[in-house]
Amino acid sequence: MSTDAIDATPSRPPEDRGGHGAGLASLRQFAWGVISVSLFAGFWEFSWAMGWANPLLLPPPHLFLADIPQTLKYFDTSNRIGSSASGGGVMALLKTVGWTTMRVVLGLILGFIAGVGVGALIRYFAPARNLVLPLVTLLAPISPVAWLPVSIFLFGIGDVPAIFLVFIAIFFAIVLSTIGQIDGVPINYIHVARIMGASRFQTFWRVVLPAILPSLFMTLRLNLFAAWMVVLIAEAIGVGSGLGQIVAVARATFNAKLVFFTMAIIGLVGFLFDAALREIQRRMLWWISSSKTGASL
Amino acid sequence: MTPAVSCRAIGKIWRSERSSADVEALRGITFDVAPGEFVVLLGPSGCGKSSLLYMIAGLEQPTEGTLLAHGLPIGAPSADRGLIFQEASLFPWLTIAENVGFGLSVAGVGGEERRARVAEILRSVGLADMLDKKPDELSGGMRQRAAMARALAMRPSILMMDEPFAALDVQTRAKMQGFLLDVWQQSGASVLLVTHSIDEAIALADRVVVFTARPGKIKTIVPIDLPRPRPPRDPRHHALRDLFTDLLAAEVDNAFAQQESGAS
């Protein structure tokens, strides 16, 4: 019997990523983004023009973006505490952003790996569940900000307390998500692995982990903003460098232009960060859409 | 000759937290499957026929009785007793070739030999061009054939299928039945297939084991002695269809009544 005839049409057409339709749609989305930001900026400028907004306290965009070289003087190329701003410039700005980003990335990677590991231990080993789960459940609702003094007591001043705070911001969410997601793995995946003779470790590494990775990545993305918030707080108080420290200095010196300029940078970097994570997700975890909608149907 | 599968007075009770809510799924199941035989398990839904497959696969343990495969007690699951589910359950993060080669890779079969065996088995199920496709890009029928290929790659002597075609449309289903008969005849494996479709049982089986409603007991075993292929309009099917319809009617009523009372 010929098997070629058995419904050779795929159930859904392959996605046309980057096709004409997608290009036009993303262009339209970008245009709306520009309009949205412009409206907000326009309202702000209008308030300034009408004299409602005090330019010293709420300088509108054209003021805090006007003298960028002057503003950049406040950014420092060295990652040392207490070093006086030496020159500034675009490189200094990029370095400051780079240090902050490095702290976030390191904290996220460490928190993600440790979270998955601890979550799996809790889920699979009864002693770990009995000993660790109550503690995790108790500590999870504590805001990462509350950990700030602890992290300074433990690690002093420097990069480590900031990385630790990012770690805390992601770790508990990943632990709890891992425990939950493991239970949500389709039981037939586990059955197939068992029938094929996979050991417990092989079943986890080759079946359970890839099955839960897309959801864990979603958890990571959802907690990304929390991670960005705490790294700025940590930098303002416990590190002495980075974007958070610039904001703190700007507040202390009543430099409203610098405050809003740095806020704009923070928003932009956060946005790019989320876009980067989305891109990683699309390339490495391409089955996410199918596993959400039930690929086997 | 030693039977491929031997069920001796199998009983299964699903224990619940409250003993009053225990469910007796199967009672006193005794029958043999000869090597190379095609046996269909037919019964109303919820009669425990799928549970029987899971026990033969080694994924569940019977509460009573003895299960033998080739004369030896059934313990842990084994790739020699392949099981195919209603949904293909392919891993969405692997290509079709990687899915089919999963068992071989777990068993430590090396890259070159594994590739060759996967390519061969995919050719035999008509998916030679789909090696690098993702499960998501295949139709339901193709996915189910890939799942069959995954089981067949381990060269099982017993192939079990739990309503494998129930999720497919009618035309695909008929094609897949013909395809399954080809695979069965080529492989020489014993097949145990669970269905609630009378036509599917008539089209495929050497013998049909008819189950009662819960607790599932064997109501009767009907041999089907017609040559294959069996065209669906063959007049000789009428008598068989009437027979199975009568056998099942009472059981379906019982199952229905149970569900109604369970729901209230």
Could B103 and A3 be called an inter-chain contact, meaning their C-beta atoms sit closer than 8 Å? Answer: no
Q: Which domains does chain A have, with CATH numbers?
A: 101-293 (1.10.3720.10)
Q: Kindly identify which residue of chain B lies nearest to residue A205, measuring between CA atoms.
A: B106
CA distance linking residue B162 with residue B60, whole number of Å: 14
The per-residue pLDDT for range A214-228, each reduced to its tens digit, is 889 888 988 888 888
Q: Which of B87, B106, B138 is facing A297, going by the closest CB pair?
A: B87
The per-residue pLDDT for range A226-245, each reduced to its tens digit, is 888 888 888 888 777 788 88
- State yes or no: pLDDT of A201 exceeds 80: yes
State the pLDDT at residue B233: 82
Edge to edge, what strands does the sheet with B23-33 contain?
B23-33, B5-14, B64-69, B72-73
Percent of chain B with pLDDT over 90: 50
- State yes or no: pLDDT of B180 exceeds 70: yes
Shortest Cα–Cα distance, A9 to chain B (Å): 6
Nearest to B97 by CA among B65, B125, B58, B62: B125
Could A197 and B103 be called an inter-chain contact, meaning their C-beta atoms sit closer than 8 Å? Answer: yes
Residue A17 confidence class, pLDDT cut points 50, 70, 90: very low
- State yes or no: pLDDT of A155 exceeds 70: yes
Q: Are B11 and B30 in contact (CB under 8 A)?
A: no
ipTM of model:
0.88
Q: Kindly identify which residue of chain B lies nearest to residue A201, measuring between CA atoms.
A: B106
Size of interface A-B (CB pairs under 8 A): 114
DSSP letter for each residue of A229-271: HHHHHHIIIIIS-SHHHHHHHHHHTT-HHHHHHHHHHHHHHHH
Would you call B12 helix, strand, or coil by DSSP?
strand
Could B93 and A210 be called an inter-chain contact, meaning their C-beta atoms sit closer than 8 Å? Answer: yes
Whole-number mean pLDDT of chain B? 89
Q: Are A207 and A185 in contact (CB under 8 A)?
A: yes
The per-residue pLDDT for range A250-264, each reduced to its tens digit, is 888 888 888 888 888
Residue A20 confidence class, pLDDT cut points 50, 70, 90: low
Would strands B190-195 and B38-42 be described as parallel, antiparallel, or unpaired? Answer: parallel
State the pLDDT at residue B77: 92
Shortest Cα–Cα distance, A17 to chain B (Å): 15
Q: Which of A7, A188, A290 is facing B139, going by the closest CB pair?
A: A7
The per-residue pLDDT for range A169-184, each reduced to its tens digit, is 999 999 999 999 999 9
Q: What is the mean pLDDT of residues B113-138?
A: 89
- Best of A15, A189, A190, A192 to substitute, by most chain B Cβ atoms within 10 angstroms, is A192
Nearest to B53 by CA among B35, B26, B71, B34: B26
CATH topology of domain B1-80+156-246: Rossmann fold (3.40.50)
Residues composing chain B: 264
Task: Show me where the domains of chain B are located.
Answer: 1-80+156-246, 91-155
